[in-house]
Structure 1
Amino acid sequence: MSKLFKKLGASLQTTVGFFFLSTFLIWLKTYIVYKTDFTLGASGPLQEFLLVLNPIGSALLLLGIALYFRGRFSYWIMVLINFLESVWLFANVLYYREFSDFLSVSIMGSTSSVDNNLGKSLGGILHMGDFFVFIDIIVLIGLLLCKVIKVDKLKIKKRFALTMTAFSFFLILTDFGMASADRSGLLTRTFDNNYIVKYLGLNEYLAFNMFQTHKQEASRSAATAKDLKPILKFINSHRTPDNVDYFGKAKGKNVFVFHLESLQQFMIGYKWDGQTVMPNLTKFYHNKNTLGFDNFFNQVGQGKTSDAETMLENSLYGLPSGSAMVNYGGSNTFNAAPAILDQQGYTTAAFHGDVASFWNRDNTYKSWGYDYFFSKPFYPNSENPNYNVGYGMKDKIFLRDSAQYIEQLPQPFYAKIITVTNHYPYDLDKENQTIKPFDTGDNTVDGYVQTARYLDQSFGEFITWLKKAGLYKNSMIVLYGDHYGISNNHRPAIAKLLHKDSINNYDLAQFQKVPFMIHMNGLKGGINHTYGGEIDVLPTLLDLLGIKDDEYVQFGSDLLSPKHPGIVPFRDGNFVSKDYTKFGNQYYVTSSGEEVFPSKDANVKKEIDADQSFVDTTLEDSDKVIMGDLLRFYHPHDFQPVDKKDISYKVSTTDAALKKDLVTQPSSILARNHGKSVADLYKTDAPELKGEEDDTTK
């Protein structure tokens, strides 16, 4: 045994020995991260073998660069490559923990649009154990500096360096060949990054993602009007008739769209600590004048909130990688809800208590045609740290301070209100906590109930003000959850919340449900069991408003239509339909959760294949529309392209425009009250404002 250790020690005194040691260390920590931090779903001997194999090829390839140099320079190149590999691992561990996905070139390139608020989230995501990926580097540097490992100054034979490079490519290609045999169309038909990492590796995923990003950029320059023809054919073949009982029922009404951050459907009616967690939203959901949808799913990808907005406003999916708002929002042509409604006589406005650049909203909203965008500079309270939490102003304060602008909007108006307090890491100061945290033992999950309760209270206060202000009766109020709040990585906690011993992929698919409800005085309400998702919101709202949308490029369809297909594509290519559910490469009967095996039943396979074909085509066609900016070639009847030069979101410009509206369009609540504000009718129990409220009362 001692002779063996002596041989190993002697081998480490050579460049080749240090090369293989570095390769082993990168492989080891990568594999450990695969098994402990990612949920890749490897099943069966082949997939487990590929999980072991795939880090080796890229490690040999990258470290092999150092073999073309000699002496100390060669060693430090290997240390540097190890360090960069570790940073890449570390960053993906943190990102995956929150988003169940891997970093992409687009996400890294769009950091400036989201990094304003990442610091607080990072504190909740980061575990001390995450730094283990850097331990080997520290040890290697220490051994080199202390000369325990001495630098071999002999030049490596070029033949050996070339052999290692060739062998690394051989391993990568072998891995790809075996992966393709197990998962056909791995790089051409799948939308799930987990598959690519599981089969090919984290470095190979990055390389493929870089290729995808380049392809996206090239697709716009290569796109022509002809590319729209097959897409229009597909869309037109799936258009659905209007529901005659609902078409135009909200014509001329104001529209409030409440963007409920991270809120999931299971919270509606959920009881905890002997009380209903969200009494206001639960009551609103079951109101006789509310259409509540209990099979409505989020369909976001890496763009999360921005994907939800893209679907809501455009009936276009988010991208397979990165954010459409960040990458294309400022440059593409859109036929978005704000522009459509603006040309129907509506005033359009968005409200968000954070910086305008977050998710590139300041540029995207101009492309979508929003007349007004009230962001952080419009709210004096936004500079007070006590009035902020996580990703912007606390909802109670934000909504109260938005009233002064809402009352100035000429009617009818379309107002999107983005809440943020119910956002990861679900922190809330003790003064605002009115319910005890969950007891799942998962720190990420347990605070969710407290911020959800706060969101509910905020909404209740807003509705009370709408009634006092005279806006409630003349408005259609739409609420939707933008995406999941608790990611699939928290399975034990999810099981406990759902009162189950354990959960499977069917449960996780069902867990993607988010609230969607439409309320209006006189509307025939009830719980609607139609299967749908965020892609279907725009056509549903346009039909209720009596606006024909037969010419628009939309990939969703009216949820109220008797011919609605009832297929919900997820961004990764999975889906839920009224008959079958596909999630994590497993199939289930949607109504019962019973697992089915298409390979054993020809009829089941036929139906699932048809659903999968629809899902793949609609996702691919939507991507083509966005990446090729194809709507620049398309001109619906009676729709004028947005001229962004006419839109400004500066405070001074907005104030001047609103004052002008009071004279030229005197239909706002403020104008109809002859300049007397109703904003002071807004009452909130926000403890931060208690002194201010007392002063107002006096």
Structure 2
Amino acid sequence: MMAKTSYGITVAHRRGTKRGDGFLGYLVQEWLLFLTFGMLLIKSIILMGFVYSHNQSMIDMSRGIKNITYMPVCAAFLLIVTAFSFLAKNRGRLWLLLILNLLVSFLFAFDAVYLRASGNFLSTQLLRQTGNLNNLWDSIFAMFRPCDIAFFFDIPIIAVLLIISRNLVYYDSPLFTSLKARLTAFFTVIILSAGYLAASHITIDVYGHNKNNYIFYTHWNPAQTICNISPMGYHVYDCYVFFSDFKPYRLSAKNRNEIQAWIDQKNEKLPSNRYKGIYKGKNLLVLQVESLENFVVGQAVDGQEITPSLNKLLPNSIYFDNYYAQVNEGTSSDADLMTNTSVFPIRNGSTFFRFPYTSYNSLPAIMGRHGYNTKAIHPDNGEYWNWMKALGNMGFHECIDARSFKMDEIIFLGLSDGSFLRQVKDTVISQKTPFYNFMVTLSSHSPFEMPVWHRKLKLDQTLGETKLGGYFQSINYTDGCIGTFIDELDKSGVLDNTVLVIYGDHDSVHKYFNDEIQSIKPSQAWWLDNDKRIPLIIYSKGQKPETIHTNGGQIDLMPTLLNLFGIDESEYESTVFGRNLLNTREDYVLLSSGEFRGSIGETKKAEVLKGLEYADMAIRSDFFRNK
């Protein structure tokens, strides 16, 4: 039976339903659309509240609202999302709105998690890196915080509405049942929203004059990008950037000249000093230690040294105590990159995944030209972070991965540090000299859950059950493995003519779990702050101890080492983004976030910041080929 309501809309009555139920069904259908849009807008503000909060495990809504630069742009992108609900009719619209809401909620929640883990947001580029997730789920889940439930606060409300609407009457008006009408509504919203975004792009990006507030532009600072284009807009634009990678990226002559001029003007042209060539002819062994932060070096907890093996190296080392991690989304692989090329990683995604075949005037290539046998040795699979393909292309004569080792003890990501270093020592000892070996460790990776039999530190329960306590145990285990490895090299005589370089790949426990560290009671001042510092230790038998306080970072290691090994600056000064930390008047470091540490004038910051963008352009365009 069909009936007309006072609103002039046809109602399909069900047996036992009242005439007013039809209007209630109408309200549910219409207002859920507006409710979903409003909720997604609030969730966009919540995400921005995480981004700009002083503590990224807390939401600062006032900063969230303040830092969505173009609120109408944010609204336009969300309208495009909700417009897809017009493709369904009646009750199907309710379910589609719920699905759209859930998808966006999960996307924003994982943005918040990934922000804590990497300082960036989820990217389509991660689709190329899914193989890395096999052993990382524990680390990923460790990044969730209770406050992330805020992205799902409205879901119970919508669920109740769906339950209520189960027995409601739905209208047969053309707006809900006519495919033509629904497609018209869908395309109208899409076209109007896209038209507004296009007009904004022309007004702000093309003819605007505020260089910090572009809309469709990947800023060197991810927070600025998402601030300008909005959280949902960020992901839409990221998809465009992803597919644009399949086209060759070409630099104009102007861009090429700007990049080269930036590199050249960075060179200080200082006369050589006493460090030049002091290690000439020696072997070079670089050991990149997983998650090694600087604050643990030389420290003890409950009367026990955390890094006794590293501490023993310091009396014969040049130790840099203001050395900073500069990794971006590629994390450990970015450390591989900067150490061996002195070039900042790309701004979006992993350099090794996106551009494994880019050419560099690299450390292994230069050492190889001077007669060195070069090897890159990892205890993980070569596909992990795509490191084998990238480092092989970089110029290493040989790349050795997990397939060359007996996998007799697995700790979290792969072969344990103890087994790896025990098995690799014969390769190091027996190889042709001079050699350059680049090696990494794995076992001290987050979430710092070392097997009980490898926990040597005796910690009180309050500290022992925290992530910081787990970190101490993990670093102490790796340190012990390194000590045993060094002893073996020393017994063989290889260490007599080998320079050993040890540094951390990136900060970790403070990066991921700083909120927990600050809440530990009682606390000790030395563990409260690390500020992205990682240790850099350059050890050589007979070396007089020195501590260098100059602020520097991972892009500076390559030119520093080449100078120590007596390689003339003319072989690399026109291709490196870093500087020699043992012969410089500068005392600053630029982090991947665009922040500075050390002493640098405000007027110079803008010019130095261009290095992040220029490095991105250089990698994407294969700038260094044939240089």
**Length, aligned pairs only:** 586
Q: Which letter maps to 2:607?
A: S
Q: Report the equivalent of 1:612.
A: 606
Residues 469 and 143 of structure 1: CA distance in aligned 2, closer, same or farther (over 3 Å) = same
Residues 217 and 576 of structure 1: CA distance in aligned 2, closer, same or farther (over 3 Å) = farther
Residues 260 and 412 of structure 1: CA distance in aligned 2, closer, same or farther (over 3 Å) = same
In structure 2, C-alpha distance between the alignment counterparts of 1:445 and 1:174, rounded to whole Å: 50
Q: Please give the secondary structure, in 1, of the residue aligned with 2:456.
A: coil
Q: Report the equivalent of 1:65.
A: 84
Residues 620 and 181 of structure 1: CA distance in aligned 2, closer, same or farther (over 3 Å) = closer
Q: Report the equivalent of 1:311.
A: 338
In structure 2, C-alpha distance between the alignment counterparts of 1:515 and 1:496, rounded to whole Å: 25
- Write out per-residue CA displacement over residues 450-498 of structure 1, whole angstroms, 9 at most, x where no aligned residue: 1011111111111111111111111001011111112446444444688
Residues 152 and 101 of structure 1: CA distance in aligned 2, closer, same or farther (over 3 Å) = farther
Q: Report the equivalent of 2:129.
A: 110
In structure 2, C-alpha distance between the alignment counterparts of 1:228 and 1:49, rounded to whole Å: 37
Matched, 1:547 2:540: no
Kept in 1: contact 2:44–2:230 (CA 8 A): no
Matched, 1:95 2:114: yes
Matched, 1:376 2:402: yes
Indicate the larger mover: 33-42 or 538-547.
33-42
Q: Report the equivalent of 1:121.
A: 139
Match runs of 1:22-41 below 5 Å: 22-32=36-46, 34-35=48-49, 39=53
CA shift for structure 1 position 197: 3.4
Task: Return the match for 1:341 from 321, 345, 367.
Answer: 367
Q: Which letter maps to 1:368?
A: M
Q: Which letter maps to 1:325?
A: F
Task: Return the match for 2:317 from 261, 268, 290.
Answer: 290
In structure 1, C-alpha distance between the alignment counterparts of 2:526 and 2:481, rounded to whole Å: 34
CA shift for structure 1 position 75: 3.9
Match runs of 1:129-140 below 5 Å: 133=151, 140=158
CA shift for structure 1 position 223: 3.3
Q: Report the equivalent of 2:481.
A: 458
Q: Please give the secondary structure, in 1, of the residue aligned with 2:318.
A: strand
Task: Return the match for 1:83 from 85, 99, 102.
Answer: 102
Residues 14 and 496 of structure 1: CA distance in aligned 2, closer, same or farther (over 3 Å) = closer
Task: Return the match for 1:48 from 65, 69, 75.
Answer: 65
In structure 1, C-alpha distance between the alignment counterparts of 2:265 and 2:50, rounded to whole Å: 46
CA shift for structure 1 position 345: 1.1
Residues 13 and 44 of structure 1: CA distance in aligned 2, closer, same or farther (over 3 Å) = closer
In structure 2, C-alpha distance between the alignment counterparts of 1:120 and 1:229, rounded to whole Å: 46
Matched, 1:567 2:584: no
- Give 5+ residue unaligned stretches, structure 1: 1-5, 581-606, 636-698
Matched, 1:478 2:495: no
Q: Which letter maps to 2:437?
A: A
How much is the aligned-residue C-alpha RMSD, in angstroms? 3.7
Q: Which letter maps to 1:425?
A: P
In structure 1, C-alpha distance between the alignment counterparts of 2:150 and 2:112, rounded to whole Å: 12
In structure 2, C-alpha distance between the alignment counterparts of 1:467 and 1:10, rounded to whole Å: 82
TM-score, normalized by length of structure 2? Answer: 0.83
Q: Report the equivalent of 1:601.
A: none
Q: Report the equivalent of 2:418.
A: 396
Q: Which letter maps to 1:533?
A: G
Residues 31 and 185 of structure 1: CA distance in aligned 2, closer, same or farther (over 3 Å) = closer
Indicate the larger mover: 365-374 or 199-208.
199-208
CA shift for structure 1 position 235: 1.7
In structure 1, C-alpha distance between the alignment counterparts of 2:67 and 2:22, rounded to whole Å: 28
CA shift for structure 1 position 70: 3.7
Residues 141 and 492 of structure 1: CA distance in aligned 2, closer, same or farther (over 3 Å) = closer
Residues 26 and 150 of structure 1: CA distance in aligned 2, closer, same or farther (over 3 Å) = farther
Matched, 1:234 2:255: no
Matched, 1:626 2:582: no
- Write out per-residue CA displacement over residues 100-140 of structure 1, whole angstroms, 9 at most, x where no aligned residue: 3211122233222x123223323534568756756855774
Q: Please give the secondary structure, in 2, of the residue aligned with 1:222.
A: coil
Residues 318 and 388 of structure 1: CA distance in aligned 2, closer, same or farther (over 3 Å) = same
Q: Please give the secondary structure, in 2, of the residue aligned with 1:630.
A: coil
In structure 1, C-alpha distance between the alignment counterparts of 2:271 and 2:428, rounded to whole Å: 31
Identity in percent:
24
Task: Return the match for 2:173 from 141, 144, 154.
Answer: 154
In structure 1, C-alpha distance between the alignment counterparts of 2:85 and 2:250, rounded to whole Å: 39
In structure 2, C-alpha distance between the alignment counterparts of 1:45 and 1:196, rounded to whole Å: 19
TM-score, normalized by length of structure 1? Answer: 0.75
Q: Report the equivalent of 2:444.
A: 422
Residues 436 and 196 of structure 1: CA distance in aligned 2, closer, same or farther (over 3 Å) = farther
Residues 237 and 39 of structure 1: CA distance in aligned 2, closer, same or farther (over 3 Å) = same
Residues 29 and 237 of structure 1: CA distance in aligned 2, closer, same or farther (over 3 Å) = closer
Residues 151 and 40 of structure 1: CA distance in aligned 2, closer, same or farther (over 3 Å) = farther
- Write out per-residue CA displacement over residues 386-415 of structure 1, whole angstroms, 9 at most, x where no aligned residue: x11121111111100111222231111111
Q: Which letter maps to 1:624?
A: M
Residues 8 and 459 of structure 1: CA distance in aligned 2, closer, same or farther (over 3 Å) = farther
Q: Report the equivalent of 2:6.
A: none
Residues 35 and 175 of structure 1: CA distance in aligned 2, closer, same or farther (over 3 Å) = farther
In structure 1, C-alpha distance between the alignment counterparts of 2:304 and 2:526, rounded to whole Å: 23
Match runs of 1:519-668 below 5 Å: 519-552=539-572, 553-561=575-583, 563-577=584-598, 579-580=599-600, 607-614=601-608, 616-632=609-625, 634-635=626-627
Residues 69 and 430 of structure 1: CA distance in aligned 2, closer, same or farther (over 3 Å) = closer
Kept in 2: contact 1:495–1:502 (CA 8 A): no
Matched, 1:245 2:244: no
Q: Which letter maps to 1:428?
A: M
Q: Which letter maps to 1:122?
A: I
Matched, 1:512 2:547: no
In structure 2, C-alpha distance between the alignment counterparts of 1:451 and 1:221, rounded to whole Å: 42
Kept in 1: contact 2:500–2:540 (CA 8 A): yes
In structure 2, C-alpha distance between the alignment counterparts of 1:206 and 1:514, rounded to whole Å: 32
Q: Please give the secondary structure, in 2, of the residue aligned with 1:246.
A: coil
In structure 2, C-alpha distance between the alignment counterparts of 1:502 and 1:51, rounded to whole Å: 35
In structure 1, C-alpha distance between the alignment counterparts of 2:311 and 2:147, rounded to whole Å: 40
Q: Report the equivalent of 1:367.
A: 393
Q: Which letter maps to 1:373?
A: C
Matched, 1:279 2:308: yes
- Write out per-residue CA displacement over residues 587-625 of structure 1, whole angstroms, 9 at most, x where no aligned residue: xxxxxxxxxxxxxxxxxxxx21212322x2222221121
Q: Which letter maps to 1:120?
A: D
Residues 7 and 58 of structure 1: CA distance in aligned 2, closer, same or farther (over 3 Å) = farther
CA shift for structure 1 position 444: 3.7
- Give 5+ residue unaligned stretches, structure 2: 1-19, 176-180
In structure 2, C-alpha distance between the alignment counterparts of 1:94 and 1:47, rounded to whole Å: 17
